[in-house]
Amino acid sequence: MTLAAVSKTNDASLRVRKSKFQADLAPSEDQMVRALKVELQLSSNSEFLSDALTLFRWAVSERKRGHRIVSESASGERRILIFPRLERVAPEINLPRVELDWTEREYESFAELALGEPAEPTEALIQLMRG
């Protein structure tokens, strides 16, 4: 093998193959991505996804260590992020636990609700979900 052939082989092995990613988004999600890209001054979906992955990777790492993710206002008001997918990686010892002291009638009522027909959404709920 000649030096030129070795050089070409090494160049080819050093190239990193970029992965393609395609997502089917609901129109509202597409609008959200577009608005965030403008707000963050991102010029491509690749930049957006890269930044989103960085943030998500950090959040997963923090929850794995049992840390809470908190937003704090200038006045000191704190809000804890509740994100069910992140809670899947949180250590069980840090998960909140609630015990319910229900009466027999409360259990029966719950069973009736759980086994009954689903309720139709109220107009207020429909409006709330539309944003």
Q: For residue 8, tell me if it sits in a domain.
A: no
pLDDT single digits (tens) 70-98:
999 999 999 999 888 998 998 876 556 67
Q: For residue 9, tell me if it sits in a domain.
A: no
The whole-chain average pLDDT of the chain stands at 86
pLDDT single digits (tens) 1-26:
555 555 555 565 567 888 888 889 99
Indicate the pTM of the whole model: 0.56
- For residue 108, the enclosing domain spans 25-130
Q: DSSP letters along the chain, please?
A: --HHHHHHHHHHHHPPPPPP------HHHHHHHHHHHHHTT--SHHHHHHHHHHHHHHHHHHHHTT---EEE-TT--EEE---HHHHTTS-GGGS--------HHHHHHHHHHHHSPPPPPPHHHHHHHH-
Please state the domain count of the chain: 1
Q: For residue 18, tell me if it sits in a domain.
A: no
